[in-house]
Structure 1
Amino acid sequence: MPSRRFHGKTRSGCASCKARHVKCGEERPVCKNCIRRNTSCVYPSEGSPESNSKPERSPVAAGSVGDSFDGLDLTLMHRYSTVTSLCLLPSSGAQRVWQTEIPSTAREYPLLQHGMLALAAMDLACAAADEGEQGQMALYRARGLHHQGVALPMFRSLLLRDDHREQNVIFIFSIMLVMLAFASAQSAPTPPTLDEILDMFALFRGPRALWEMHQNGANKELIQTLFPKALPDRPDLPEAEFMNPDNPMIGIDHPDIDQSCAQAVEQIRWAWARHRNDQDDVRAMAWFPALMPQGFYEQCQEHRPIALAILNLYASILKPFHNRWWISSWDVILSSAIKNMAIAEHIRLPVLVDPSRM
């Protein structure tokens, strides 16, 4: 009988691999297992008793107000306070809310603490990706996903409590989730598929639904500060601006365009007009995924050519927002996902707009 091959045990692997009882490659700052699984990679402190016995407890896992945070989290909080909070939404009122009011509220709600740290981590991950620093990108991305994962059960708990005093906290975190979804895709090891993107777009309906439910309630003032005219059915623009002949969406016609697709085209026209009127207004890119007709959304899920061609027009709305770190290259991400899916499924997309006008 062949002898069993001996494997030496190591006690210096990361906490995630130890918890899963798998061999850790011990690559630093993030091991390959954690990069592949998009999980937090935390190593025991060198020389500590835990480094020779048990995995180090994550300093931010429990989620109570009194939890301690490590040095990386201090870096993230500094980034949030000085950079991230100023680059989320454009208005000065929104910057004040993100930089001052939300951190103040977070003293009582760990949900927002973890949301702020997750945003800062994804901000740094995107910056590292732009610089080609793969190790740093993986480190920040893993920590951001960790904080998001810790926060989600807290979010669900607040939703179940239905306490009107916590409406602002719920609304703010739902916006954080949208930003995190967009940012996460830009630092992922592989680009998202079209179906994954459609799942992300569904997140936009959360803030929309909360706004509709509570626009006359406790969070009315907050909503008006963040979104001075929050997500109306159509932007406050004159008809002449909407029908501007430079609008590339004018005159789109195709025999396969049904009512829901026609409504989607109109929403993209209005988004284009909104951007033309105010080039720093992120509502131009938020309207479409938040308000797209359910019938159109289902056609996209079914990979119908006409719906995908219309969805591809939305990329032209995303393109001008490269200066927003959490939107950045999403026009390329969306167009590439649609193109790759069409190639894989041998789908020919109809041409709805002269490319030279985009």
Structure 2
Amino acid sequence: MPSRRSHTKSRKGCLECKRRHIKCDEELPKCTLCRKRKLECSYPPNSNDLDSSQGSPAPRDDSESTLTPSDDLAIPNRMVEMRLMHQYLTSTHLTLARDGMSSHHLAMVIPRMATSFPYLLDSILALTALHLATVEPENHLTWLDAAVRYQSHSCSGMGKVLPVITPEHYEPAFMSSIFIMLFAIGFSGLSRANRPMDPIAAVLEVRTLITGCAMLFNRFSEVGAQVDLERWSEISGIQECLEIEPQPDNKTSDNGPLKLLELHKNLMNSLMRLLAVIDIDRSPNQPVYKAAWDSLHQAVGPWPRLGDHGGVISWPFLITEEFISLAQNGHWIARILFLHYSVAMRLWGNRWYVRDWGRRSVLAILNTIDEIPPHWAETISWIKEGVEIND
């Protein structure tokens, strides 16, 4: 009787080969298949090595390798990630959901996708850790540290994928870029709450990240690939991916619905008064001001919906480099438009990742002004009132 052939199936193959159910030759740093197809190649951790290409934090000494929500309990990294994923599935994803469909994708489709794409998993864990930093103030610094570490892993993973991106990465990279962008908005407020803010620098950062989101979304829309987010993208696009309804989990904002409705009404009225000033401006910059005003008016108008252009969060993506330069150089109409944008961000202050971004932005802009021209005094007074700045 012929002897049976020895079993040579790979037991420690890379994640990509496991996903495709094919044998992996386990070559390092990339297996042959991933190298030929220019895919990201990562291997699962073994029981003795929690630091893997999946994105677990790098080994550190005992005082740094654990997160300690209390002095009596040290939680290993795996338990931390379980805590973060539980938080995401039960709470964080709901703060991002627009409706039942997007909630389903955020809770079901995207986590499943993240099991094959480590950088997406890291971006989920980073944003969730940032969320926990807001809901567990007693562990604020602990979760903030975890958020930064996972964000670093996510950005590093994205950096390796983007130069040679293939269609299978379009969706996970797009969703990861959304989470990275929301992280950037939230981290500025959470980590630097008592520090001076550079509003234009913050806008430029968001502008760059939104540009990346749009590029990735256009990629998988143009190729017509079979995608898990197909129903979502048909209805929405990048703007709707960010559209969310007010959530009750942010305990830092005392802005009630009626107060926000009044602020929105006053903001729209102030924008109309500003338009009258722009219309009579005879400088060469008038077309630039008008274009910035148009995009801001369209962004603010549909509130609390985001509208067709992505709402106030996407306004940095809609303005021109020329307008940004005018604001940086202290041109007053550009400054006033930036201040109205900051007030508009105040409308989203009950989002845990926005919080007091608008108020801090107004303060930062006003701190750069030595003297307010008399004809802008009333507008500045209303803006300060709108974001609750008391002289």
Common topology (TM > 0.5): yes
Matched, 1:201 2:228: no
Give the match's secondary structure for 2:235.
coil
Alpha carbons 1:42, 1:56 under 8 Å: kept: yes
Deviation, 1:220, is: 7.3
Matched, 1:289 2:316: yes
Deviation, 1:149, is: 0.5
Give the match's secondary structure for 1:325.
coil
Query: 1:32 matched to which residue of 2?
Result: none
1:1-358 equivalence runs, <5 A: 44-45=61-62, 69-128=77-136, 131=137, 133=138, 136-189=139-192, 190-202=195-207, 203-217=209-223, 218=225, 222=229, 225=232, 228-230=235-237, 247-248=268-269, 249-251=271-273, 252=275, 253-254=277-278, 255=281, 258-275=286-303, 278=305, 283-342=310-369, 350=376, 353=379, 355=382
Alpha carbons 1:90, 1:280 under 8 Å: kept: no
Unaligned 5+ segments in structure 2 are 1-56, 68-75, 240-264, 387-391
> CA 1:231/1:351 → structure 2, altered by over 3 Å: closer, same or farther?
farther
* Residue identity in the other structure for 1:152: C
Give the match's secondary structure for 1:342.
coil
Counterpart CA distance in 2 for 1:78 and 1:308 is 43
Counterpart CA distance in 1 for 2:347 and 2:230 is 24
> CA 1:352/1:230 → structure 2, altered by over 3 Å: closer, same or farther?
farther
Alpha carbons 2:288, 2:322 under 8 Å: kept: yes
* Residue identity in the other structure for 1:258: Q
Give the match's secondary structure for 2:133.
helix
Unaligned 5+ segments in structure 1 are 1-39, 46-50, 59-67, 233-243
Alpha carbons 1:168, 1:219 under 8 Å: kept: no
CA RMSD across the alignment: 3.5
Deviation, 1:117, is: 0.7
* Residue identity in the other structure for 1:330: W
Q: How many residues align?
A: 283
Describe the superposition over 1:91-135 as per-residue Cα deviations: whole angstroms up to 9, x where unpaired: 22221111111110111111111111101111011234xx5x4xx
Deviation, 1:322, is: 2.5
> CA 1:315/1:160 → structure 2, altered by over 3 Å: closer, same or farther?
same
Identity of aligned residues (%): 18
Describe the superposition over 1:285-336 as per-residue Cα deviations: whole angstroms up to 9, x where unpaired: 2331121122112323334332121011112322222332112222212212
**Rg: which structure is higher?**
2
TM-score when normalising by structure 2: 0.63
> CA 1:326/1:214 → structure 2, altered by over 3 Å: closer, same or farther?
same
